[in-house]
Every structure is written in C-alpha cells, then in structure tokens.
Amino acid sequence: MDQARLYASDTTVNQDSPGQIAGGFQVSPVANCPVVVVITMSVPSGMTISGGSDFASSGAGLVSTRFTVRPGANIRDVRATVYSEDTGEKTVTADIQYWPQGHQDLNREIDGLSFSFNVEESVTPTASSQSAGTQASGGSGAGGFAFVPALVAAALGTLLIARRTGQ
C-alpha cells in the first residue's frame, strides 16, 4: 500500500457546510496483487455519517466500508459527510485494516484515528441525502489524526513482492 490516508477535510459543522471525512488509498504499480481495505468509524451520540455508496451502517453507532484497491496509478477516494444534532466539540474515531487480497494473515491495522469537529449549529441530513446514501448514528468515540508513513507502505510492498517471488 503506497498510500492509506483518512482525514477530516472540513472540521466545522454548520447549516452552510456539514463536516467531511475523506481519504485516499493507492497500491504501488509494481505490486502483484490488489489490497483489501476495511474502514470502521465510531460515531458519537447525536452525530450521523452519510457516505453514499462508500459507507454502510454496522449498527450501534458504527459505520464501515470495505473495498479493494488494485495496483496502479489510480487512487481510490472515499468520502463521508458528518452531521450533528448537538452543538459543541465532537469526535469520530476510525480504524483502518488492510491486507493483500487472499492473504488476510498479513493484515495491517491503523487504529484510533480521531477526527474532531466543531459543531456550530445543529445540522441533519435532508431527505434527499438520506435517500442518496447510507448513514449511521449513535455510538461513542475518542480520538487522533494519522497518515500511514511511507516506510510502512514500502515495507508492505516489499513483503508482497518477496512473498510472490518466493524469496
């Protein structure tokens, strides 16, 4: 995995603009197999995450997505919109797992990413955004913000190549 990034692209929630969580995932063009990625977010009580086809509710204040990233120059982008009924400082926590397709035993995890939002006004999804995507609300969270260092990604790529060539 050359890039595994999840971040809060818009941390202020108000009537003009709900919050945003975005990310990008990329596998090296020289890798021999696709990588499976699973993102799970814990949503505090009163908050809602809506992510179109990217994210689906797992219940109990959890929202998740699973997708496969193929080797090459293309970046797999994900995006989720953050709403809140309650004002104040709110935090969404995320965990990322990824592994070479067919090799879940080589699972890598990035745990405890947190995204803090300043909720200035109560904002809820409109009926149109509810029908356009899936949402989850509730749960509790705690927090941080992270980017997978290139060194870890390079090590995984080397491991994949070495495993494929039998070295």
Question: Smallest Cα–Cα separation from 43: which of 73, 70, 21, 67?
Answer: 21
CA dihedral 76, 68, 146, 119 (to 10 degrees): 70
pLDDT recorded at residue 116: 96
**62 — pLDDT class (breaks 50, 70, 90):** confident
Q: What dotted CATH number matches 3-123+131-165?
A: 2.60.40.10
**59 — pLDDT class (breaks 50, 70, 90):** low
CA distance 152 to 116: 25
pLDDT tens digits for range 141-154: 322 222 233 323 33
CA distance 45 to 137: 7
Domain borders along the chain are: 3-123+131-165
Question: Smallest Cα–Cα separation from 101: which of 22, 32, 55?
Answer: 32
pLDDT tens digits for range 89-117: 999 999 999 999 999 999 999 999 999 99
- Please tell me the pTM assigned to this model: 0.71
Asked whether the CA dihedral 78, 68, 92, 145 is positive or negative, the reply is negative
